[in-house]
Amino acid sequence: MSDLTKKDVKHLMLFAGRSHPQLAAQIASLLGTEVVPSRMVTYANSEVYVRFEESVRGCDAFVIQAHVAPVNDWLMEQLIMVDALKRASAKRITVVAPFYPYARQDKKHAGREPISARLVADLFRAAGATRIMSVDLHAAQIQGFFDGPVDHLYGLPILADYVRQKYDLSNVVVVSPDAGRVRTADMWSDRLGCPLAIIHKRRDPNVANTVAIHEVVGEVEGKTCLLVDDMIDTGGTICLAAEALKVKGAAKVIAAATHPILSGPAADRLNRSAFEEIIVTNTLPVDPKVNIPKLTVLSIAPLLAKAIKAVFLDGSVAALMNEQ
C-alpha cells in the first residue's frame, strides 16, 4: 500500500462523555472497536477539562453523550469535546445525542421565550460538529435547526418487536396519551397491526401544571392498552392516562417510551400506577437508586452502532430505517 493510499483510508474513532459509559461501551463492542481514552476533569469551580490521549488527526469522529440530569453539565462537556476534536484536526465530527437536549423547547408558546432546541443546534455547529445523530426527536422540525445532516433514528422497532414477542397482539390497542402523540401512536398501530385509541386531555387553566383527563376515544374495554410516548419525565401525564384507561375497563395497561428521563416523583408514581410493565430504551442511563420493578430497559446500542457504521461508510441511514 502506497503512502498516499494509507492517508486516504478512513479512520473511525469513538469518543464518549462521562454521562453514560455503558452505552458507549456497548456501541464500541458492536463496532469492534474501543472508546478512545480521554482525560476528563471537573475542576473545583465546575469547569470541565478534556484531553484525548491519542492522535485524532484526519479521523471520522463520533462523540457520544447522554443528556441526563444535570443536562447543562453534560451538554457543555460534549461541546468541549467537539471543540477539542476540531482543534486537533479531526476530519469529520458527528455528535451522537440519543436524547436531544432541550428538545421540548422547539417553538415559542408566548412572547419573550427562547427556542432553546435551535440554540443547542447552533452551539454544536459553532463548536465544530458537522453532523448530528439522535433518536426520537420530540419534534421533527428540530432536524431543520442544524445547518448540516441530521440522522433522526427511531426506537419504535426495538420497542415494538419486544411487545410483539411478549403480548398477544390480537387483544392489544395502541393508545396515544394526548393529541400531540397521535402521529407516534399511528406509526405503532401500523407496525403492530393493532387498532388505535386516543386520550383527550386538557390542562386545568386554574391550576398550574395540572392535567385533567377528559375522555378516551376508541374501544379499550377488556383490551391490553399500550400507551406510547417519546419520553417519560415525571410520569404524571402517562400515569393519569393509565388510570383513565382502567376506569374505561382496560384489562391491562402497559407503556412504551424511548427516553427514560424519570425525574423527581417518577419512580413513586410509576410504582403506584396501573401499569403492568413500562418498556424503555437506554438512550439515558437509569439511576441505580431508581427502583422501578415494572421497568424493562432495552438496548438502543445496536441501532446506533448500525447508524454510525452507515455514516462512516457513506452508506444510507434512510435505508437502515426502511429495513427496520
Which residues are bridge partners to 152 per DSSP?
134
Residue 2: pLDDT over 50: no
Of 146, 150, 89, which Cα lies nearest the Cα of 119?
Answer: 146
Calculate the alpha carbon distances from 285 to 69, 72, 260, 279, 281 in Å: 10, 16, 8, 14, 9
CB contact at 8 A, 67 and 99: yes
CA distance 283 to 293: 19
Backbone angles phi, psi at 300, to 5 degrees: -90, -5
- Chain centre to alpha carbon of residue 16: 16
What element of type H or E holds 202?
strand 196-203
- Read off the C-alpha cell for 153: 433514528
Q: Stretch 294-307: mean pLDDT, rounded? A: 98
Residue among 201, 223, 252, 306 flagged as catalytic:
201
- Among the listed ranges 66-75, 208-217, 222-231, which one has the minimum average pLDDT value? 208-217
Residue appearing with cell numbers 482525560: 39
Residue 206 pLDDT > 90, yes or no? Answer: no
Q: How far is CA 160 from the centre of its chain?
A: 16
Confidence of residue 204 (pLDDT cuts 50, 70, 90): low
Strands 252-260 and 277-281: parallel
The dihedral through the CA atoms of 124, 129, 131, 136 has a sign that is: negative
Mean pLDDT of 236-243: 93
CB atoms within 10 A of CB 254: 23
- Whether pLDDT at 32 is above 80: yes
Tens-digit pLDDT profile for residues 164-181: 999 999 999 999 998 889
pLDDT at 85 over 90: yes
User: Which pLDDT belongs to residue 211?
Assistant: 57
pLDDT band, very low/low/confident/very high, at 200 (cuts 50, 70, 90) = confident
C-alpha cell at 102: 432541550
What pLDDT is stored for residue 255 in this prediction? 98
Give the pairing type, strands 277-281 and 48-52.
unpaired
Reported pTM: 0.93
Is 309 an active-site residue?
A: no
Evaluate if residue 90 carries a pLDDT over 70.
Answer: yes
Place of cell 423547547: 105
